[in-house]
Chains A and B, each alone.
Chain A
Amino acid sequence: MVIGKVWRVSGPLVIAENMSGSMIYEVVYIGNDALIGEIIGIQGDKAFIQVYEDTSGVSVGEPVEGSGKLLSAELGPGLIGKVFDGLQRPLSELEVLIGPFVKRGVKASSLPKDVKWFFRREKGLEIGSKVGPNDIIGYVEETPIMTHKIMVPHGVSGYLKEVVGDGDYRVDEVIARVESGGKVFNIKMYQEWPIRKSRPYVRRLEPTELLITGTRVLDALFPVAVGGKAAVPGGFGSGKTVLLQTLTKWSRTHINIYVGCGERGNEMADALHSFKKLVDPSSGRPLYEKAIFIANTSNMPVAARETSVFLGATLGEYFRDMGYDVLLVADSTSRWAEAMREISARMEEMPGEEGFPAYLGSRLASFYERSGRVECVGNPSRSGSLTIFGAVSPPGADFSEPVTQNTLRYIGTLISLDVSLANRRHFPSVSWLLSYSLYVDNVSAWWSKFNTSWSELRREFLRLLQKEAELMEIVRLVGPDALPDQDKLILEVSKMIREDFLQQSAYHPIDSYSPPEKTLMMMDIILKYYKKAYDVLLQGVPLVSIKELPIRAKISRMKEVSPNEFSKFYVNIVNEIEESFNNLVKGVVG
């Protein structure tokens, strides 16, 4: 191993000399405390190292030791329900070890090495058969709702010599042996994978399924496909974190990973606690049994923000390879970009826009491009997906800044948050005028399994909202009285769409998760109301009497109707709309 010496210390950047023979992205240990760092540049015999821990107290001349390895994640049973820092140290275990403050230089095993897991051998597997990377050799029921599939690591292929029988094993015990050309590989329940490198797949599949988030404005208007990628930019106070945590809670995926990158500690604590209390709607089990947290709060070392994001992607790909649908939420990618800017400035690189390094875009791409729905490597054949949501925190809520703009180049859905909506307490504050989704055509086939045409409803909703925006311009100039009744009706119906459909409480026991069936019926109800109202308006009924119909109040409470009762509610209310408008016409015209 290379052993060099510290030559310069400047914040999270350390330059070491006598480092020839080391490689880019190699992990090194700095100084007497063996702080963890990663080589990000080499010049002659000098290595530029970003250090993932506080460098206070390091002095020139202290040793720097190479490890010969890339920064890697440990993948195996023991990940679910855990909270890790950006270097995959288990934070709950650290608390037991060293108390409530994160000290530097602490080393802790990512996966519990003393826990025994019940390993169930894959029955179809025959001794002597040929196995290769990602072939499933057994299962561990990690939590009641999550079966961890034990796969042959990459780089191993050959003939299966031996697999242990069903029983309890630690992750570092050998559970199988594979022989190839006289060489024997010992296979354990865990494997390592360098976090910056994406895990291979056979081929990419087209994203055709809707990622069911249960958040109406997304599912109905700005859908994200399973395996897709979305950005959520929003100024402070726009409800970004609440929205992202809601998505992590309710999205109908097998594994949900939440990366708190450079964000608030109290919010992270809140997420950890609420995931223990809240129950997954489909399984009835606590949400944390299918969740993983990565927490690198804003006051923790900046360089580890980057690793927290890539660690999340690596864990996501690993579960994807088992054939699962994985959701990865990174809050916030701007903090990661700022960390890049800080390191870049200290390396005295030529700055790009607003001081961000010129490679900002490509680095962001290397993260978002790890999403996708793929045919996985290995037997039995299976497909899995990784969907990525990245939050962006633009300074001054100005979306023209480099991080937002670079992100837009790589994502399929833009969920643009609007502070002014949040100030009016319209949540989630997703702007219907600025957001877009490129997955609309992909997922419309998915929606077609329902009787009602989602595409049409969606188009009509967006048309009404767009029209409302135009009409409001006029209202602002000349007042609402100048508008004809048809236009006033559009304002009224748009208000219904905004208040009775788009607004959704993240904390309401029923409203926080809206299944697609319910969402679709709600859209249909509002448009049925609009069509009927429009008809009777043409027949000479004044708008005032339409507004006074009691059906209006009933629609405004429809969010609170539970999904189980919604079909019944739907049939009733559609009849009621029909009836009350017919009566209205009779009363006024007839």
Chain B
Amino acid sequence: MNYTLSIKELRSVLSAKGSLLFIKSIPGVRYSEIVEVVLESGESRLGQVIDVSRDATVIQVFGGVSEVNVKTSKVRFKGESLRIPVSSDMFGRVMDGLGRPIDGGPNIIPEDFLDINGVPINPASRLPPSEFIETGVSSIDGLLSIVRGQKLPIFSGSGLPHNRIATQIVRQARVRGSEERFAVVFAAIGVTYEDAYYFMNSLRTASTIENVVSIINTASAPTIERIATPRVALTVAEFLAWRYDTHVLVLMVDITNYCEALRELSAAREEVPGRRGYPGYMYTDLATIYERAGRINGKKGSITQMPILTMPDDDITHPIPDLTGYITEGQIVLSRDLFRKGVYPPVDVLLSLSRLMKDGIGTGKTREDHYQVFMQLVSAYAEGQYLRELTAIVGSESLSDRDRKYLNFADLFERRFINQGEFERRSIEETLNVGWDLLATLPEDELKLIGVDYIRKYHPKYRS
């Protein structure tokens, strides 16, 4: 939106609370326009109009209201929504949660100013994502295949190695047979300085990527800026994807911090709280972030999202993972049990899911037997897990030979299929072959989910 109204200024703050300012309305104030709050010291902070009526205007101040003096502080209305300068020169740059450079480099010479809220993609203009991204990680490529344009979050827990997994994926991800432009936009939302540094450093040293843009809002930065941070990152991503035909992977850590900020803001606005105090519109709010992924008819670029969130108390029914799971196209769930067993990456393949997998695999994309091998592996592992639980209660005495083979399979599956090195890249063929080697430890007539022709072709017994 572009408004040609002259800038208005006001010096009548009525009250300040949390991150909100309440002021007397002046004519012409627009809903969701951006304001500048100028303190006595001359420091200025950005804010946004979140409610406007004839009597009062409510402003949410990015950066918080500390030091705001209701007598001396000034509010300057900008007449437009929050926009950031974007340019194809942003690679390698580091910006704060509002898109301002913090790497000591020069200002960004803008090619355009874009509204950070973006515009919804017309559902009829979307292309169904179907290009397989090979990450080199067996558990993901084999069982949770990612496609370009997908949004697939990592559900982690505190202390689990989601940072390492995410950077491994970024380091190794490629689309086979494609040399197209590839970029990473990294958004750190309320993470510690160490975490942010780890990411920036590993992304920078990852040999395949020269194209990283970082948007950093650390834990010490103002909470309220976190509301803008993912949107700023996605605005940069959209600019690169739709304007410059780039395939962009957007990495966002930690969505949990974003939701906490949302709750804080909602509480300050005295809204009726929903589950666990999070606002009732959190689903919609998260959707306006996650839905900014996809592919568009007639455009060469794409936006793939990998948000990372830490489940409070490892609880997957907590509102943050729950609402996320309702919006994203699957989830990669990390397991504390596997982590304790020393399995890296500790992916819980039974709770994890990639909804767009079926469109990205098979003949011409990965390998013809991929889907059936995937179904058989998961099903056999589920059986093994079930038997583990059973033996924990009734002991292993009563187990049949078949059951023992399944138990053995489950162990092997964790040690050889899921487990792999942090710098180990397995091609999809290698991944599927490991899968076949493990399936070969089961009786052949147990492989009901695989067609006979594929068994003949790929089963180690018939290979060679």
Contact = CB atoms under 8 A, between A and B. Distances in A.
Nearest to A10: B51
Interface in A321-341: 335, 338-339, 341
A354 B274 CA distance: 6
Nearest to A274: B128
B292 A299 contact: yes
Instruction: In the A-B complex, list the 10 residue pairs whose CB atoms are closest, starting with the nearest.
Output: A298-B287, A8-B53, A479-B394, A396-B317, A100-B125, A269-B126, A236-B325, A9-B31, A91-B124, A299-B291
Nearest to B356: A266
Interface stretch (A51-59, A133-141, A160-168): A51-59
B109 interface: no
A264 B272 contact: no
A262 interface: yes
22 contacts: A55-B32, A58-B30, A83-B123, A92-B124, A94-B122, A101-B125, A235-B322, A237-B331, A262-B284, A265-B120, A266-B150, A267-B329, A298-B283, A298-B287, A298-B288, A300-B120, A338-B280, A341-B274, A397-B317, A476-B393, A479-B393, A507-B358
A350 to B, nearest CB: 10
Contacts of B330: 237
Given A57-B33, A266-B150, A95 B124 contact: yes
Contact of A423 (B124, B351, B355, B390): B351
Contact of A273 (B31, B128, B290, B448): B128
A395 B275 contact: yes
A92 B42 CA distance: 51
A237 B325 contact: yes
Contact of B322 (A57, A295, A396): A396
Contacts of B275: 354, 395-396
A477 B119 CA distance: 56
B31 A297 contact: no
Contacts of B31: 9-10, 55-59
Given A8-B54, A355-B273, A101 B121 contact: yes
Given A8-B52, A95-B122, A298-B283, A236 B3 contact: no
A425 B350 CA distance: 9
B25 interface: yes
Interface string A135-153: 0000000000000000000
A102 to B, nearest CB: 5
A305 to B, nearest CB: 9
A183 interface: no
Contacts of B121: 100-102, 265
Contact of B350 (A57, A267, A345, A423): A423
B319 interface: yes
Interface of chain A: mostly helix, strand, loop or mixed: mixed
Interface in B1-31: 1, 3, 25, 27-31
A59 B326 contact: no
Contacts of B326: 236, 393
B267 interface: no
Interface in B304-342: 317-319, 322-323, 325-327, 329-331
Given A61-B28, A235-B322, 19 more contacts: A8-B54, A56-B33, A56-B81, A57-B1, A57-B30, A100-B125, A101-B121, A236-B322, A260-B123, A266-B149, A272-B123, A272-B124, A297-B291, A299-B284, A302-B284, A345-B280, A393-B326, A395-B323, A423-B351
B120 A83 contact: no
B193 interface: no
Nearest to A7: B54
A398 B275 CA distance: 12
Nearest to A237: B353
A397 to B, nearest CB: 7
Contacts of A60: 25, 27-29, 52-54
A92 B126 CA distance: 11
A472 to B, nearest CB: 11
Nearest to A342: B281
Interface in B266-302: 271-275, 280-281, 283-284, 287-288, 290-294, 296-299
Given A100-B122, A478-B394, A479-B398, A395 B322 contact: yes
Contacts of B273: 355
A351 interface: yes
Contacts of B125: 91, 95, 99-101
Interface string A448-481: 0000000000000000000000000001111111
A297 B120 contact: yes
Most chain A CB within a 10 A radius of its CB, from B117, B124, B331:
B124
Interface in A346-387: 351, 354-355
A114 interface: no
A110 B353 CA distance: 38
Interface residues of A, number: 70
B291 A102 contact: no
Contacts of A55: 31-32
B27 A61 contact: yes
Interface in B30-53: 30-33, 50-53
Contact of A266 (B129, B288, B350, B382): B129
A586 interface: no
B359 interface: yes
A556 interface: yes
Most chain A CB within a 10 A radius of its CB, from B30, B119, B280, B351:
B280
A402 to B, nearest CB: 11
Interface string A64-95: 00000000000000000001000000011011
B398 A299 contact: no
A124 B364 CA distance: 57
A538 interface: no
B382 A425 contact: yes
Nearest to A242: B355
B206 interface: no
B287 A102 contact: no
A93 to B, nearest CB: 9
Most chain A CB within a 10 A radius of its CB, from B53, B293, B378:
B53
Nearest to A356: B280
Interface in A239-276: 260, 262, 264-270, 272-273
Contacts of A102: 119-122
B54 A269 contact: no
Contacts of A15: 53
Contacts of A554: none
Interface in B72-121: 81, 117, 119-121
Contacts of A262: 283-284, 287
B117 A56 contact: yes
A335 B394 contact: no
B379 interface: yes
Contacts of B290: 298
Nearest to B358: A507
Nearest to A401: B275
A568 interface: no
Interface in A551-576: 553, 556
Given A94-B122, A237-B331, A355 B274 contact: yes
Given A103-B119, A479-B398, A266 B329 contact: yes
A10 B319 CA distance: 25
B296 A100 contact: yes
A128 B351 CA distance: 69
A300 B291 CA distance: 10
B52 A269 contact: no
A10 B269 CA distance: 12
A9 B32 CA distance: 9
B401 interface: no
A481 B358 CA distance: 39
A409 interface: no
A424 interface: yes
Interface in B432-448: 445, 448
A569 B57 CA distance: 74
Contacts of A298: 283-284, 287-288, 290-291, 327
Contacts of A351: 272
